[in-house]
Amino acid sequence: MTRQAHTDIRKTPLIDRLTPEAWRASLQPYIRLMRLDRPIGTWLLVFPCLWSLALSGLPVSDPVRAVWYGVLFLIGGLLMRGAGCIINDMWDRDIDRRVERTAGRPLASGAVSLSGAFALLGGVLGLALIVLVQFNVVAVVMALAAMGLVIVYPLMKRVTWWPQAFLGLTFNWGALVGWAAAEGSLALPPVILYAAGIAWTLAYDTIYAHQDIEDDIKVGVKSAARRLGDHSKPMIGVFAGLALSGLAAAGLSADLGVVYLIGLAVAGGFLAVVIARWRPEDPRSCLTAFKANGWFAALVLVAILVGAAGVGGAAGAGVG
């Protein structure tokens, strides 16, 4: 099968409408550098935070604070995902020039200078810090501890066949931060949730990596997609199964019951269909399956919220 030309740079009518016409040409490269035109990465970063927040029971016990924290996590996730993309493109700008999908990225193409990227990174991290200090000290310390992962993650594709696992360590750190924000401490449920998120990331980011196999071979970049090859589809099924098992264990450890498990089963069924329909040799199918994980994450969040509400309602009835 002949692969079609595939690129990160796409038309973004919504971003165009939100950007003043006089500034559009100068702002667009910075918008694309932060991937603001592709929000799925932000959602995949934010959902583990929201899962953990919901798992803590805060939306039931203090819904106003839960909503406020959810907004902060969304803003913070948008900023930190943007910071991560800037750092990633700084490390990878020479590689990106040699890969079809990424050759048009702002640093690789020269649309943004390295000094301009550093300036943007400083501003984004400053705003993220303002968001972060709205939480308690434990959550702040937990979040800052993840910065090392954010900085070195882009190097992992040079040294290991499993950079997707390292992305899992990075992208799911919010599972720990969300619980710490709600409870002021850590416990077993968010730790299990974190492990489940790592397995989930192994699944969706290996799907994503299949877009670049030919270019990765050419430039010598490693990935789980290359390592697994023709075994990718069944192994991604294994990763998804581990993620679902971990999500179930996290919910049970937080005393969520059968309602949660039913909701999780629905989410799992959705993910199974996505994986079954995915065609590894087709870059567009890879991107579609990757993006579908945002809907899976939303279904898991609904399952946790409904499960936690059921536990809270039962507890309230018992007190009455």
pTM for the predicted model, two decimal places: 0.89
Q: Say if 13 falls within a structural domain.
A: no
| Cβ 100 vs Cβ 87: under 8 Å | no
163 Cα distance to chain centroid = 14
Q: Rounded to whole angstroms, what are the CA distances from 45 to 16, 49, 74, 212? A: 24, 8, 9, 22
Of all residues in the chain, the percent with pLDDT exceeding 90 is 76
Confirm whether 143 is domain-assigned: yes
Query: What is the reported pLDDT for 317?
Result: 38
What residues make up the domain containing 37?
Answer: 25-313
Assess if residue 236 is contained within a domain: yes
Task: Report the number of distinct structural domains present in the chain.
Answer: 1
For residue 319, being part of any structural domain is answered with no
Examine residue 248 and state whether it is found in any structural domain, yes or no.
Answer: yes
Task: Provide the token pair at 251.
Answer: 């919910």
- The residue among 318, 178, 188 whose CA lies nearest residue 255 is 188
Establish if 288 belongs to a structural domain: yes
* Residue 12 resides in a domain: no
- For residue 47, the domain's CATH number is 1.10.357.140
235 burial via Cβ count (<10 Å: 0-12, 13-18, 19+): middle
Judge whether 9 lies within some domain: no
Write out pLDDT tens, residues 177-234: 999 999 999 999 999 999 999 999 999 999 999 998 988 888 888 999 999 999 999 9
pLDDT at residue 6, rounded to an integer: 55
